[in-house]
Structures are given as structure tokens and as C-alpha cells.
Structure 1
Amino acid sequence: MRAVRHVVCALSGGVDSAVAALLLRRTGYQVTGVFMKNWDSLDEHGVCTADKDCEDAYKVCQILDIPFRQVSYVKEYWNDVFSDFLNEYEKGRTPNPDIVCNKHIKFSCFFHYAVDNLGADAIATGHYARTSLEDEEVFQQKHIKRPEGLFRNRFEVRNAVKLLQAADSFKDQTFFLSQVSQEALRRTIFPLGGLTKDFVKKIAAENKLHHVLQKKESMGICFVGKRNFERFILQYLQPRPGKFISVEDSTVLGTHKGWFLYTLGQRAKISGLREPWYVVEKDDSTGNVFVAPQTDHPALYRDLLRTNRVHWIAEEPPAALVRDKMMECHFRFRHQMELVPCVLTLNQDGTVWVTAVKAVRALTPGQELSCSEQKSRAPAWALHRAKL
């Protein structure tokens, strides 16, 4: 008689992870729910939002009759996610902390806690994503240490797990999972991968999970919440005043408190001006921010960028790219944006040139890019942090 599989499910206190745990329980797995506290934050009423989320996650476990655990990764989150975020912003770049959090916290700290401390056969999350493995194949995976080095031997890790797009293309979250390691992916189940958000809500309503169904969906950067971003970031970074300068005629239009407060493509709120101006460039030597008068100004568009070293999700690097030094694929640099056809050119140092078939708006240094071999697939590779 086969032993019951033990799956440890990350619970956020929201509806998606609650339904993920419910579906795992229904399948017959032994399920443990774990709430991760990653940030000590207060909402606009001075209430710690993490405590409320923890209570909601605990209530989910009570309703489903499964064990509940709470772990704190506040220190790890500060060191690996928030410090990186501040460092990137101070350099004038635009990082994505959700991607970094998934890489270092959920699919590293939590993953190892579940496997090493709780004896999990697999972990699960409420992300809308899929992999190329069926559940039973996930349970058969052995621990394989990923080889170090610029390019690992292509035959050391066979049958690499692919990250695939969710059935609900609007909710698909594979962009945020594009830096997750092969080790974690091969031991992860995504119960919501084949479902739509509407169906997930229906399941919650039919199974007494109304307390999470009624919650507003969390959007934006978790540690900022509903607070003013400029006010928040200036608590950690020193103001570096500079000027807003028109990219068209070099006219000084106003002043700002720090060039790191602005990202390419965003509307610049310039005191005294009614018409909108948009950030097109930043000068780190002077602190000046260059702006253009239309949201579709030509200065906002680029068709070429170079990445940092690439995180290859499955095959490292793809055979076609090694053979031909160039390869056609699709990329995105924001969640839910349309995939853009492009050509990759591989450099000897492991970086990649990305040439878009048509120029795209607001390509920004520091952003994470994810590439897909096919337009219907989720990222096959994550192109780490754009350099323009």
C-alpha cells in the first residue's frame, strides 16, 4: 500500500492559496498549511496587515482540518529582497521585488523548510502557473544539486522541468516565477494552473471560505501597501534633488527630490504644469530627469537592450542559441503585457542582446525580462535585469 503523499502548501491568507490547499486535500494528499511572515507592515489604520493575513490563513486550516504552521522570514526578506530593492533604486534602476521574493523566499527558504523540516514530498502555492510535470511525476523527483559555472554540462540534468502558462491567461503569474530554480520547480505543484479566477472564487464560495473570498486582492509592492511611494522610499534613501528637463528643447520645467523616484515611461508630476509629461531618461551624474510631452513620444521607445547574466529555467542555454548564436522568441518585461517577438544574440560572458521586432515603450534598466520560445508558453528563460 502506497504511503499518503505529504504536500506543504504556502498560505497567504488570500483566496487563491486557500483554494489550492482545498484542492490538494480533496485529492487525498496529507496537507500542511504554512504562513510566511516576510514583512512587518502597518496599514493606514496602524494595524499589522501580516497578523490579519496570518489569522485568515489559520482559519483556512481550521475549515480544511489541516495542520497550520507559521514561519518568519523577515530577516531573510530584508537581506535578500528589500536591500536589493533599495540598492537598485539608488542606482536609478527599476527592480521587481515580487520576482526576487519568489526566488529567495518562497522557492528557497520556504521550499527547504517544507522539505527538510516538515518532510514534504512536494510544495504547493496558489500561483496561476503550470509545469511540464504531472503531480505523480513531481513526487518521483530526486534532489539534484544544480551544477555551478557559467554554462552547466547540458547532460547533467536530464528531463528539465518546463514552466508553462496557466489556463487563465489574464491571471497567469509565470512572469513572477521566472527566476525560480529548477530544483524547486521539479518539486512544486500549482493546483490552480488549469483553473480560471472566477472558478476559483466559485469553489471558495461553495466551501465555507467566505472570509478570504471577501478580501480585496493584494496589488503592487507588498511592503509599500497603500502608502505614498515617494514618502516611503525617502524614509530609506537620501533625497537627491535635480531638475526636470524637456528632451525636446532642454528647457528646465521644474525640480524633484530624487531621480530614483522615477521610472521610464511614468508620468512625472511637475508642479505648475497642467499637461502631462513622461520620463524618458535619467542622468545619474547630474540627477536630472528628462521628460517628453506625449505618452507615445518617440524618445520613449527602444528596440535593443542587453541583459545581465541569464537565468535559464530549463535548458542552459537552448541548443538552437548555442548552435546559431541567435534565436527567435518572445519576451515581456511586465506582468500581463503582450509578448513581443524578438531575436536573442548570445554573448560569450553569458549575457544576451535582445532585439525587439518592433520598438517597445518604456524599456527600463533594472527590470526583469522573461522569454518564451513559443507565444503560448510561459517563460523558458528569465533574462535578468535589462541594461539599456
Structure 2
Amino acid sequence: MFRKIAVGISGGVDSSVTAYLLKKKGYEVLGVYMRNWDIRDEQGTCSSDKDLKDAQTTCDFLNIPLVQVNFVKEYWNEVFLQFIDDYEHGFTPNPDILCNKFVKFNYFYKYARTKLNCDAIATGHYANTSFGNYLENYQQGQHVKLLKARDTTKDQTFFLSQIEERSLRKTFFPLGNMLKRDVKQYARKIGLQALADKKESMGICFIGSRNFQHFISDYIVDQPGDFIDVDTGKVVGKHEGIHHWTIGQRAHLGGFSQAYFIAKRCFKNNIIYVAPGTNHPALHSSLFFTDQPHWISHDPLVQSNCFDCAFKFQHINDLSDCRVMQVEHGMVVRVNGVKRGLAPGQYAVFYKNEECLGSSRIISTGVTNFTLNMLEYLRRKSNQNQQTEQTHAYG
């Protein structure tokens, strides 16, 4: 049923081994290099040029054709502009999730299916599906689930949590049951030594090796403001703009006995509240609110307005148990315990056992444990005052 497969070739070891494995199984493989970003850095170099050269080398080695497709406009409009708008309004975006949602599993998928007449696509992501790595269990009309990869440290379902089921139904993930170290060893074995030793790209593609604060200042005008201690209300430093900072990040303020960390950003008055100490309660929350969720294969809230699952809001996080409740404009999520550094704009990605259910964008983190502790302190203080007044009254 699936004969011709378009493989997203990035110039890295994962996509190259993916293409090799598919060809070895007898599929007609077509490499597709997506150019999503072409602005040069301060040194006048563009990483896309080097990656394209590596992609061509891989395809020549495998004796498969390579097609180049330009999605720069689409990436700019649907990923990068959203990234900038989020930072301007005090949100913490995740462009990797948006890139998969809008570019790789939307525009690339449609291009492969309609322009290249391919039966399916394949990528080097570390993920699995209920249809199998090579869609060997494909069933027409049956829902497909996104499942975690065998390599738990490389699992990339977090970044795939916003893709559509229609794309997932016809996507191969050949590396889903392989460990990263085995992929590199396999690449060396088949003659792709240079790619196995190639340094992996880390971070956001359009920033590259540049300093983030320098990069963001090219697109958003700096607006200096105050760092204020959440405990004392005193000004403890100056910042160049809220967009330079995210919740939980170290503020790097000198001259204090304890390091300060970003606790809250007030966009209207350009104030950043900082908390002394990495475990300050102002950095922890046990409740947050999201927009409408995106569920990949099925809506777990259809039969009930709440359910228990696990979630994480950063790729490197461990999963945390939570209860999800449906409300009119989104969801309320109560965490079993507390989480440090939750920030508006991040994605909460939900899991049930091995399945990645989908995700939802965090809109508000509600009150922090610091606020709750303060309210409890004020309540007790009020009760003590009332008891003292009653004692004096009945003296």
C-alpha cells in the first residue's frame, strides 16, 4: 500500500539513517530538503547552506533523488512572527512545536502527497505510533495514537503534540525503537561516519549560536525597567526589557547574598519581580489555565469534564501527575505537588501511559505558592486580631 516515501532530509544523522532504513526495506525513497530559514548570522554564514550540502551528500551516497522546497515564507508567517509577538506580550513561545504543526506536518506533508505523489512521509523524529514504525499495522479509518519512543532521553513526542492525526496516519518514524547511540553506530557501519560525528544542532534554528538577548533586540525595541524583590518590594536592579527574560531564569544581579530568579513579569508597567533563591515559593505553582486543547486522536474529555493524566511543559522535564478539568474557554490543570517555572505561552503536553494525547497552551499560571502562603498568613493574622479584640472586650 505504501510504496513511495518522502523523507525530510535535514543533513543530520537521524534523517539520513531514516532514509537508509526505508530504502533497505524496499521503499521508493525521495529525499526532501526543507529550507525554512535563510537569514545569515553576524559572521555572514547560513547554517542552511551547510545542511543542504550534507543532505545532498547523503542522498548521493544512498543513490536517491533530493528535492529542495522553500518554506521560508510559511515559516516566517506562522512560526517566527508568532515567536516575536509572544515575546512582545510577555509570553514564552515554543517555535519547535509550531514548526512541526505548521511546516513539517502540514506544508511538507501536503507537498509530498500532492506535488510529489508520495504515499507517505517519514522523518527522523524519535517517536512511535500505534500503526508501527513503518505503518505495518495501518488500518483504514482507524484512529492512530502518538506513542513515546524507546529512547526516553531522546523522545520527541513533546514537539509533535500539536500535529494533526491526518498527517500522523501516513507518517513513518523508523527510529522510534532505536537508541540514539545505536543510530550513530549504525551510521558509521553503513559509511556515514561524518554524519555520525557531526555536532547536533541545539536550540532554536533561527538563533543558532548567537546570544539570545542580542538576537531578540534586533526585532523588539528594548524598554528598560526595574527588577523588584517580591519579598521586600524594593528595586534591586534594572533590566533592558521584559522580552529578554522568562519565568524561572536567573537574573544575574550582583552584590546579593542569594541569586535572584524571575518570578513574574508585568507587561503593563514593565516591572519584573524577582525572588531570592532558586526554591522560593514565588517560583512554584500547583495550578494553571490553558486555552482550548489540541487532542491528536481522541478527546479524553468527551465523556467527562475531567480526567487524570501526566504532563510536562518542557522537553527535558519529567512527567508530573495532574488532573485536567474542562472549562468554557479552555482547561484548568491542577498539579499533584508543585512545578517550578511555569510560564504563559508554554505548552502543557499531556500523556496517558505511553500515549501522547496532545497539548494545550498555558494562558495563566494562576496564583503562586508565595501568594497562597501570603493569603494564609493574612488569614491567620486576621483571626489572631479578632481573638485579641474579643479577649479585650470580655476582659
Q: Which residue of 1 aligns with 2:19?
A: 21
Kindly state the Cα deviation for residue 284 of structure 1 after the two structures are TM-superposed: 1.2
What letter corresponds to residue 60 of structure 2 in structure 1? Q
Q: CA RMSD in A?
A: 1.7
- The aligned runs of 1:179-258 (5 Å cut-off) are 179-258=162-241
- For residues 315-373 of structure 1, give each alpha carbon's deviation from its aligned partner in whole angstroms, at most 9, with x where no partner exists: 1x21xx33332111000000021100000111134x11100010110111000111012
CA contact (8 A) 2:29 2:64 kept: yes
What letter corresponds to residue 19 of structure 1 in structure 2? V
Bigger Rg, which one: 2
In structure 2, relative to structure 1, the CA distance for the partners of 1:135 and 1:254 (3 Å cut) is closer
Matched, 1:307 2:290: yes
Kindly state the Cα deviation for residue 5 of structure 1 after the two structures are TM-superposed: 0.5
What letter corresponds to residue 32 of structure 1 in structure 2? L
- Match 1:93 to one of 91, 108, 111: 91
- The aligned runs of 1:277-316 (5 Å cut-off) are 277-315=260-298
State how far apart, in whole Å, the 1-side matches of 2:194 and 2:146 are.
31
- Match 1:58 to one of 42, 56, 63: 56
Kindly state the Cα deviation for residue 296 of structure 1 after the two structures are TM-superposed: 0.9
CA contact (8 A) 1:331 1:371 kept: yes
Name the structure, 1 or 2, with higher relative contact order (CA <8 Å, separation 6+). 1
Kindly state the Cα deviation for residue 240 of structure 1 after the two structures are TM-superposed: 1.4
In structure 2, relative to structure 1, the CA distance for the partners of 1:288 and 1:4 (3 Å cut) is closer
State how far apart, in whole Å, the 2-side matches of 1:274 and 1:232 are.
31
Q: Which residue of 1 aligns with 2:65?
A: 67
In structure 2, relative to structure 1, the CA distance for the partners of 1:176 and 1:23 (3 Å cut) is same
Q: Which residue of 1 aligns with 2:129?
A: 131
Q: What secondary structure sits across from 1:383 in the alignment?
A: strand
Q: Which residue of 2 aligns with 1:344?
A: 324
Aligned residues: 365
Q: What secondary structure sits across from 1:245 in the alignment?
A: strand
CA contact (8 A) 1:56 1:211 kept: no
CA contact (8 A) 2:227 2:235 kept: yes
Q: Which residue of 2 aligns with 1:154?
A: none
What runs of 5+ residues in structure 1 fail to find an aligned partner?
143-157
State how far apart, in whole Å, the 2-side matches of 1:51 and 1:115 are.
26
- Match 1:354 to one of 325, 333, 336: 333
Percent same amino acid at aligned positions?
44
In structure 2, relative to structure 1, the CA distance for the partners of 1:141 and 1:223 (3 Å cut) is farther
Q: Which residue of 2 aligns with 1:150?
A: none
Q: Which residue of 2 aligns with 1:327?
A: 307
Q: What secondary structure sits across from 2:24 in the alignment?
A: helix
TM-score by length of 1: 0.90
Kindly state the Cα deviation for residue 387 of structure 1 after the two structures are TM-superposed: 2.2
Kindly state the Cα deviation for residue 269 of structure 1 after the two structures are TM-superposed: 2.3
- Match 1:48 to one of 46, 49, 71: 46
Kindly state the Cα deviation for residue 140 of structure 1 after the two structures are TM-superposed: 5.8
CA contact (8 A) 1:308 1:387 kept: no
In structure 2, relative to structure 1, the CA distance for the partners of 1:274 and 1:16 (3 Å cut) is farther
Q: What secondary structure sits across from 2:356 in the alignment?
A: coil
CA contact (8 A) 2:290 2:331 kept: yes
- Match 1:385 to one of 359, 362, 366: 362
TM-score by length of 2: 0.89
CA contact (8 A) 1:12 1:36 kept: yes
State how far apart, in whole Å, the 1-side matches of 2:161 and 2:186 are.
28
What letter corresponds to residue 327 of structure 1 in structure 2? F
What letter corresponds to residue 168 of structure 2 in structure 1? L
Q: Which residue of 1 aligns with 2:105?
A: 107
In structure 2, relative to structure 1, the CA distance for the partners of 1:274 and 1:43 (3 Å cut) is farther
Kindly state the Cα deviation for residue 386 of structure 1 after the two structures are TM-superposed: 3.8
In structure 2, relative to structure 1, the CA distance for the partners of 1:22 and 1:137 (3 Å cut) is closer
Q: Which residue of 2 aligns with 1:118?
A: 116
CA contact (8 A) 1:369 1:386 kept: no
Kindly state the Cα deviation for residue 192 of structure 1 after the two structures are TM-superposed: 0.2
Q: What secondary structure sits across from 2:31 in the alignment?
A: strand
Q: What secondary structure sits across from 1:127 in the alignment?
A: coil
Matched, 1:177 2:156: no
State how far apart, in whole Å, the 2-side matches of 1:386 and 1:379 are.
21
CA contact (8 A) 1:44 1:226 kept: no
Kindly state the Cα deviation for residue 47 of structure 1 after the two structures are TM-superposed: 1.8
- The aligned runs of 1:145-156 (5 Å cut-off) are none
State how far apart, in whole Å, the 2-side matches of 1:365 and 1:4 are.
41
- For residues 131-176 of structure 1, give each alpha carbon's deviation from its aligned partner in whole angstroms, at most 9, with x where no partner exists: 110366479676xxxxxxxxxxxxxxx5221000000000000000
Matched, 1:269 2:252: yes
Q: What secondary structure sits across from 1:380 in the alignment?
A: strand
State how far apart, in whole Å, the 2-side matches of 1:284 and 1:136 are.
48
State how far apart, in whole Å, the 2-side matches of 1:254 and 1:348 are.
40
Kindly state the Cα deviation for residue 271 of structure 1 after the two structures are TM-superposed: 5.3
CA contact (8 A) 1:141 1:186 kept: no
